[in-house]
Amino acid sequence: MKTNALGPEYQGNLIMGGARTFLQGGHLFRFKLTADRTNIAVDDPRLADRVADNVCKFDITESETLLFGR
C-alpha cells in the first residue's frame, strides 16, 4: 500500500486476496515486505522457509498469521 489510509502499520505492505466463495467468503492476506521490498518478511517460524505447507488445496495451514480479513 502506498498510503497510510488504513494506518501507518500497513504502509508498504502487500495485501492480497482469494475471492472464492467456498473459502469462508474469501481470504485477505497481509504480507509485510523487507526494507528493500524484495522479499516477504515473516514473523511466524513456520514460514521461515517462505513456504506455507498446506495440508490440501485451498487450506491455509501455515498462513494463519498472514490472514488479514475475510
pLDDT tens per residue across span 15-46: 998 877 777 678 889 999 999 999 999 999 99
Percent of the chain with pLDDT over 70: 96
Q: State residue 1's pLDDT score.
A: 67
Binned at pLDDT 50, 70 and 90, residue 2 comes out as confident
C-alpha cell at 38: 524484495
Q: Does 69 score more than 80 pLDDT?
A: yes
- Domain limits, the chain: 8-69
- Are the C-beta atoms of 60 and 54 separated by less than 8 Å? yes
User: In this structure, what C-alpha cell is assigned to residue 59?
Assistant: 487450506
Query: What does the chain come to in residues?
Result: 70
Please name the amino acid found at residue 21: T
